[in-house]
Each structure stands twice: as structure tokens, then as C-alpha cells.
Structure 1
Amino acid sequence: MCFVVNVCKRFAKEQPKTFVAITHPYCVSLLLVGTVFFFLAEMFYVVPFIFDTGGGMYKLAWLVAIFIVSNILGNELVCYLTDTSVASLPEERRTPKPEEEHLWSYCDECKMKVPPRAWHCKLCKCCALRRDHHCIFTATCIGHNNYRYFFWLQFYLALGSVLFLVSYLLAVAVNKEFRNRYVLVWIIKNVWKRDYDIHVANWNEFLWQNWLLMLNTYAFTFSLLMLPYQLPIFYLNTTFYTGSDCRYNLGLRRNIKLLLGQRGLWTFISPWINSPLPHDGTRWEEAKPLGNINS
């Protein structure tokens, strides 16, 4: 994973236009197509092996699946559409007030002063407020205004891949027909027990089912590897590239509101829930030194 990240960073630095032209369409399409693919495979192939398609549990599974997919697609869309650049600020806030001027820094690329924690992205060609990183799966920078949507996108991708894997393994456990197509069961019965009377009735079904498990394992591993990168951000109010910077850590509850807005964790319900951020991303309160906590 680190190797892939380093290669992408080097490519983006040396050839930003080419990087954007290649990776953005490919990665966004991969996420959209993959989400729809796993949704259809789950509901029309795997789940019917577990629940009666006319029963209440099957209908409940549909509701859960639709809820997760709508949050994946919705959060990706709103994340992309939400401008988190310094240019998104009202015109009067794009320049520092006299008492704030010493906190702002000058961007040589944008030829302007930018607020604390804002810095330039060569791919977006602008400075992003509290820039976290540039995400190729949303084709935009992640920062102060759209971090909420990016976090829930990561969360629901991980949740969806976990539930898909659980449902697959549950189908293996409860349905004999499904279980006999699983490659490990097939190997055990045909090699270890030397029961050569057992054959694969339908090779297409056999290959499809095991290929599906392999794809889900990759998706499951990738999503769970990416999600932990975001968790320290809540504890420390930091960013992807400044993980050890604890200057802005105001405690977990306040950090959550700074990142997700006034409604905090309730924003998990939908990207369309209004959750105003506490400030515009130009003023960042620093944590008090430990020696001054009681002062």
C-alpha cells in the first residue's frame, strides 16, 4: 500500500496533468462500477442463497443494501461538488484581518496569502482549506468543507465490503449447494477425502462464485486498510500529512464537530443532512499546553 501511494505521489508531482487525465476517470469509474456490481451480485446472487426471496429478512437485506449504496454514491457526489478551496470563502475573508495576518502564509503558486492549515494542491491548482489530501476516487481535494463526506464514503465502503463478505460466508455455512461450489470445500472433498465421485455440475457457476469471493476479498482488504488512516484525525484534529501535529486537538467531542459539523455523528444517516461547520476554516483554535489546562 505504501509503495502504491509513493508511486502515485511521484507521478502526480512530475506529471500532474497526465496524472489527473488518467487516474481521475479510471478511479471514479472503478468506484462507481464496483459499488453497483457488488450491490447487484449481493442482492440477486448471494442473499437468495441465505433468505427466502419472499420473506421479511430478504426485504430487510434490500433496505440495508440500498441505504449503504445510497450513502456511498451520495457522499462521493457531494464530496466532489463541495468546494473546499480558499476561493470558496466570501471575498471579505480571503484576506486576513490585521490581528490574523501573522498566522497566514503566502502561496507562491496562487500569489496570495492563505489561512492556517491551507496549502496548495498542484492537481487542483488551488489552495484548499485545512487540506487533508487529494483523493483520486473523488477527483478532488479533501479539506475543511468536504471532509465529512469523504469520511462517510470511506466508512460505508468498509461497511459494505464487510457485510458482503459476511453474507458470502453465511451462504457457505447455511446452503449446501452454495457451499459445494466454494473452492476450499471442493478441494477438501475431492483431494483430501479422495471422494472423486463429487464433480462440479456447472463450471460457470463455480468460477463465478469463487471469482466473486476473490474480488470481495480485495475490496474488503483495501477499504479496511484505508479507513484507519482517518481515525487518528478525529482523536487529534490533524490531517493525513500532519499526523503527529497535535496543536489543534481540542478533545474528541469538539474535534468531531469541527470535522463533521454541528450534528456530529448523526451525519452518518445521509450526506443530505444539513450539518453546518463551526467556522469557515480560517481560524483554528490551538490546544492549551498541558501545564495550562487548569488555568
Structure 2
Amino acid sequence: MRLKKNFWPKVPQDWAVTTFLWIIIPIVYWFELFVVLPVFYSIMSFWYCFHFILGTFILFNVVTNFMAIILIDTSIQGLILPTDMLGNWRFCSVCECIAPPRSWHCPICNTCILKRDHHCIFSGCCVGHNNSRYFIIFLIYMFIATIYATPYNICFIYNMIDISSIKSVICLIFPLAMVFVEFTWNQFFMFLVLIIIVGSAFTGFLSYYHIHILCKGYITPEKKMKVKIYDLGLMDNIKVVFGERWYLTWLAPFVESQVKHDGINWKEIETQKDK
């Protein structure tokens, strides 16, 4: 697996969002396991240890898959590509080379990306053939983490907040603004709970969308253009992204799972589809 030489975000908005994510993830982990969880279970009890271990496992997969998205190179740079125009290959005037089918040039990354789905502002890089497995698993674990924590957080906030005054209601409705106006730990906790609830809705939608197009054999540009020639059926579509050991990839990004394709020569799949 090729790793990027320059994995830093390229534009300010990518820097801002990626930095925010790297900061908020450990803060939320601390909040859930060391602030919220002791309210419901005594420390070192069975259920406390159970949720602590499960939460740490989820955090491990969130962080390691996120790092894999950022570090793994899914561009055409360094690849030996043919100089003749083949099939539906195309010439990229920016990269000044023949680009494979399903690859698209990213103006932010300034290179063509193999099987490019989109440029992800949260990781500051493109999601393509080599890192789409980690992106989807990252989304799923983020959704699991946020939806798992939300019921506990709602009960935690309900027991913590006094809604008998107008000020407390305003604090509940505008937690971020009140953090800067009058900082208290309770106000900060409400802000974190709001971030988690919004995160559960956002990652839930993204997880559904990307799992749906994965099962259909699409990438995002192909869905818009209704390109269906790479749809091999559910199981083969899953293996194109997650590899032969797809059923183990959820354990960790370090689990080896050889994918069915190199991301360059799609003629075999096109021919198989024609048959």
C-alpha cells in the first residue's frame, strides 16, 4: 500500500475542519467515559468496564481508519501508466498523462485520483480506490459512536439542566454562544452533546448514502451520470471496496483484505458486466 509523502491539508477550510475533528474526537471520548458514564454506573463495575472497553474499541477504529484515509495514497502519482489512449481512458491536461477510467482530477489535491469519489473536507484529501474502505468504516464507527452516546447524553443533560428560568432555556438552545458569553462546565457539556447529536444525524446520512452507492457499484460522479457498467452485483461490489476478507475489515484497518481490483484497468470488469 502506497503512503503519501505530503498528507497535510492543502487549503484553509480543510485545515480548519480536519483540526477540529482531531481535537473534538478525544474530548468527546473523555466526556463520555469519564463524565457521563460514571453518572450511570459506578467506576470499575461490570457495566462501566463493558462500556469503557466498547467505547475504547470504537475510538480505536475511528482514529485508525481516519489516519488510513489521510495517509494512504490513492492518486495516480508514481504509477506506471500506458501512453496510448485505451478504451474510455482520457487525457488529463493538468497531470499531462493518460488517466484510467473512473479517475478524476482533483483541483485541491492537484492530481488525478483513482476511482475518485469526492474530496473530503474532514480528512483534507480525496476518497478514492485505495482508501474508500477506511472512509466507509470510519463513517460507520462515527455513527455508531454518536448514536450509542446520544441516549446517555440526553439523560445526563436532562438531570443536569434546570429549565425553571429563561436564562437556563437560552443556555440549552444556544450552548455554543453561551460558552463564549459565560463559560461554565455545564454549558460546555451541553455544547458537546449538541455536537454529538448533530454528528449522529450527519454521519448517519453519509453512511447510508455511501453504503447505498457501494452496493450499486457506483462512485458519486457515476451516480450523477447514471453509469452502471461497473455494477457486478452486491457481493462483488462489496469485495471491490473491502476485499476478499470483507467480513473482517470492521475489526481494524490493519486487517489485510486483498481487493479484487487495482483501480487502473477496469476492462475486465467491463467485459464481465457485458457477459
TM range (shorter): 0.7 to 0.9
Alignment of 1:62-73 (within 5 A): 62-73=52-63
Partner secondary structure for residue 127 of structure 1: strand
Higher Rg of the two aligned structures: 1
Q: How does 1:16-55 map to 2 (within 5 A)?
A: 20-55=10-45
- 1:220 Cα deviation (Å)? 1.9
Q: Distance in 1 between matches of 2:159 and 2:100?
A: 61
**Cα displacement (A) at 1:83:** 0.7
1:180 maps to amino acid: N
Matched, 1:279 2:261: yes
Cα distance, 1:26 vs structure 2? 1.0
Give the distance between the partners of 1:76 and 1:30, measured in 2 at CA: 13
2-structure distance, mates of 1:27, 1:121: 19
Deviations 1:126-162 (A, max 9, x none): 1111111111111111111111011111111111111
TM-score, length basis structure 1: 0.76
| Partner AA of 1:43 in structure 2 | L
8 Å contact from structure 1 (residues 256, 265) kept in 2: no
User: Secondary structure of 1:238's partner?
Assistant: coil
Provide structure 2 residue ranges, at least 5 long, that are not aligned to the other structure: 1-8, 170-182
> Runs of at least 4 residues of structure 1 off by over 6 A?
none
User: In 2 relative to 1, CA 73–88 (structure 1 residues): closer, same or farther, beyond 3 Å?
Assistant: farther
Residue-pair matches, total:
247
Spell out, residue by residue over 1:77-106, the C-alpha distance to the aligned partner (whole angstroms, 9 max, x if none). Answer: 1111111111253x2xx116x7x8223111
Opposite residue 281 of structure 1, the aligned amino acid is: G
* Distance of 1:121 and 1:207 partners within structure 2: 41
* Alignment-mate amino acid for residue 262 of structure 1: E
- Tell me the amino acid that sits aligned with residue 245 of structure 1: V
- Please report the RMSD computed on the Cα atoms of aligned residues, expressed in angstroms: 2.5
Alignment of structure 1 residues 77-96 onto 2, 5 Å: 77-89=67-79, 91=80, 94-95=81-82
Contact map agreement 1:181 1:209 (CA 8 A) in 2: no
Give, as a single letter, the amino acid of the residue that structure 2 aligns with 1:106: F
Q: Which amino acid aligns with 1:272?
A: F
Q: Is the 8 A contact 2:243 2:257 kept in 1?
A: yes
Alignment of 1:115-154 (within 5 A): 115-154=100-139
